[in-house]
Structure 1
Amino acid sequence: MYQQRNSFRSGSRGRHNRSNSNRSFGHNRSGRGRFQPKQLDPRLFIKPADAVQSEVAPVTSTFSDFKLPKQLVTNLSSMGFDTPTPIQDQALTPILNGHDLIGLADTGTGKTIAFVLPILAKLIKDPAQNALIIAPTRELAVQIKDDIKALSNGLPIKTVLLIGGTGIYRQIQELKRNPHIFIGTPGRLKDLHERGSLNLNNTHTIVLDEMDRMLDMGFVKDITKLLSFLPKERQTLLFSTTIDDRVEGIAHTFMNNPLKISVKTGATAQNVDQDVVHLSGSDKISVLKELLKQQRFQKVLIFGRTKYGVEKLSVTLSQNGFSVGAIHGNKRQSQRQRVLTDFKTDRINILVATDVAARGIDVKDITHVINYDQPDTYADYIHRIGRTGRAGKTGQALTFVE
């Protein structure tokens, strides 16, 4: 029905020249309309998983070694966290000491705890302060809020989630209760500030999470404006998977002699076995269904290009007896969050998503990522497959090629 690892392989495992990984091998396929997206070279999607060779020094400390309030260490232990990850190990001390910091780390490496712990420690010491955390997507903002809730258990720390897709007037009412931590997406934060509901005058800690993603999504003006409203005496923390001139520009303009730490291991790509599925004239949905019936496809994230296509695919799979949900821009935030929760808690084992809706998804134990529709860029591809192969486990990514 379909073929894997065929003519695109060169040698026993068909490695492609990795120097091409940042190039776009786009070309118009014959017979496609002029508005059809370009296709990437399928060789980019073929690479076996490697043993991760980390250049990061091994962590020998525990959370109790840091100057953290006792309640935070207790909460970490109750969550099963005793030893910090490399990004936490290297970032905690300078952040606790008040330095501005640029942290470069792959997704899924625990950077949220690296900035949440110092914020909570600061608020325990001085509850009159505020902190602002800006994230590129609603899903990531929700994830950060959930992490803060768990880490601040037993503490009088109030948070507010300020994202689109939910009622703004309810958020305005929550802001009147004087929360300690604002967590939100750029557009909604800017809207609330312009309405006079979000007062940033006492915000002395700001976190810019997944900065490269926020710039890719066109939020540079909103972020720049929000930063201009903050007190000059503040601590600014910037986390990003990559750093380029745009990120450097934000750092140079709004940060004070930031320390830069990098614990990137390349594990996201190395820990994922990447391959293609050649349709060879076979019906695309039939091939997908045959794959999903296999026992090893335990928890699967499927990417589609359009909101309509994602919804249609989800409905079709559901009608064929699969336990599936979908997230995309046409769904209300409450719907998206419900589906994501179902996926996290194994009520469903298949999630179909668009690129934008899937940014910020942090779900454990995803066994497979399937690119039902090819990504537009190689950067999007790397982001997609980074949802699997986490926490030292090997994941698999399959890309459909017609």
Structure 2
Amino acid sequence: MAFNSRKGFAYKSSRNPNARKPREQRQRGNKHGQYINPAKFVKVAQPVTVEEYTPEYNFLDFEVDQRIHANLARKGFVNPTPIQDKTIPLGLAGKDVVGIASTGTGKTAAFAIPILHKIMTTKDAKALIVAPTRELAMQIEDECRFMGKGGGFVGALLIGGSAYGPQLKDLRAKPRLVIGTPGRIKDHIEQGTLRLNDFNIIVLDEVDRMLDMGFVNDVKTLLSECAPERQSFYFSATMDRRVSDIIDSFSPDAQTVSVKMSDTSDNVHQDVIPYTDKHNKIEALHNLLIEPVVAKSIIFESTQRNVERLEKELQGRGFEVTAIHGGKTQGQRKRALDEFKANKVQIMIATDVAARGIDVADITHVVNYGLPQTYEDYTHRIGRAGRAGKIGYALTFVEQ
């Protein structure tokens, strides 16, 4: 990853972020957001013990189509995760389910297995899966494709940033599984190219993030458009009033499944990297990235333009880098994510919106090169490091 042996940037010991308090008006990338005290970016990691979970079932216990069992076996699935263990039986029984679980808990399989079983074994089952971002929708499609391999049904992926032509072709084939983002799905409904009145299963994945992104009316529209007699799945990392109001309105009898989640920051070592000017800042980042311990990192920037500038700068310095932001095409974003997941590239630069829903298990470092807009955005960013009880690192650049 690195191309020379220059001395790495020392970040092992925490600095005093209040020694020279950054000037709020000069904190680039945060000028339209809330002021965040830099002291919040410093925290010593406390190793989190991953509690041993004894599942009530293994995958063979679930009475699902044998093609699904075969596909799961090829991937080495034996014991379900807690959210899968608790959700799949309810899903197979036709219950409405509210799942409180974050990215990385296996929630996609928790709702996909019951849905795929019903589509593969009954003629009238049709499902709509809604995700807040293109990346998450594509990941869900990938997982459904491998779990439903050989199922003989047609699916459609409806996401923004991709051409309408192929989507219209897929819709004309009368898909029984539609996966997409709220805006593009609503576009097809308004154009008369998609009707949901006979879709009797709906999934709202990361519904809290959808509401954060302003999709509250779209979510209500999609729920209203689906068949009155339907099964509903709602998955959310948090359960605030907005989320609970929607669930209470559309699925008052839903059963809640909650997976105990520790504070994502507990096992993430958080620190700041002070800088005085642009040259000093990029040099500090360079020296950080050549450290051997920085095995796989995601670098956050505040805007699409800043992502592109930083990508070119690091490539010019000899780093292999990939980047995603809302201005890139679906194909470009998918290639970038696939390369990062496959470890062909160890550095990804991203904006907050483009990175939402990305589930990559082995990220060691999160680097906030551009400041987050809110502290909530900060916690979402750093939650990508320190997965599965491992210590992760979150480093935030702060102007002095």
The counterpart of 2:94, out of the listed 59, 74, 98, is: 98
| Structure with bigger RCO (C-alpha 8 Å, 6+ apart) | 2
Cα deviation 1:20-40 (Å, max 9, x = unaligned): xxxxxx996266799565431
- Superposed counterparts of 1:124-143, under 5 Å: 124-143=120-139
Aligned to 1:213: 209
How many pairs were matched up? 387
Call closer, same or farther: CA 1:238–1:399 in 2, change over 3 Å. Answer: same
Mapped partners of 1:81, 1:32: distance in 2: 46
The counterpart of 1:285, out of the listed 282, 285, 291, is: 282
- Superposed counterparts of 1:201-240, under 5 Å: 201-240=197-236
Greater than 3 Å deviation, 4+ residue runs = 1-4, 30-39, 53-58
Mapped partners of 2:221, 2:287: distance in 1: 50
Aligned to 1:359: 356
Cα offset, 1:307, TM superposition? 0.8
Tell me if the contact between 1:127 and 1:180 (Cα under 8 Å) persists in the aligned partners.
no
Q: Is residue 3 of structure 2 the alignment partner of residue 7 of structure 1?
A: no
Cα offset, 1:267, TM superposition? 5.4
The counterpart of 2:326, out of the listed 325, 329, 345, is: 329
Q: Is residue 72 of structure 2 the alignment partner of residue 63 of structure 1?
A: no
Mapped partners of 1:48, 1:261: distance in 2: 32
Tell me if the contact between 2:104 and 2:361 (Cα under 8 Å) persists in the aligned partners.
no
Question: Percent identity at matched positions?
Answer: 46
The counterpart of 1:349, out of the listed 346, 350, 365, is: 346
Cα deviation 1:112-161 (Å, max 9, x = unaligned): 00000000111122133210000000000000000001111222132210
Cα offset, 1:237, TM superposition? 0.5
Mapped partners of 1:31, 1:230: distance in 2: 48
The Cα RMSD (Å) is 2.3
Relative to the length of structure 1, the TM-score reads 0.90
| Unaligned 5+ runs, structure 1 | 10-25
Call closer, same or farther: CA 1:319–1:145 in 2, change over 3 Å. Answer: same
Call closer, same or farther: CA 1:259–1:55 in 2, change over 3 Å. Answer: farther
Call closer, same or farther: CA 1:345–1:53 in 2, change over 3 Å. Answer: closer
Aligned to 1:375: 372
Cα deviation 1:16-59 (Å, max 9, x = unaligned): xxxxxxxxxx9962667995654311222222333335678532
Mapped partners of 2:378, 2:134: distance in 1: 21
Mapped partners of 2:384, 2:26: distance in 1: 33
- Superposed counterparts of 1:156-175, under 5 Å: 156-175=152-171
- Higher mean alpha-carbon deviation, 41-50 vs 250-259, is at 41-50
Cα deviation 1:310-353 (Å, max 9, x = unaligned): 11001100011000011112212221111111111222111100
- The residue identity in structure 2 corresponding to 1:339 is A
- The residue identity in structure 2 corresponding to 1:6 is R
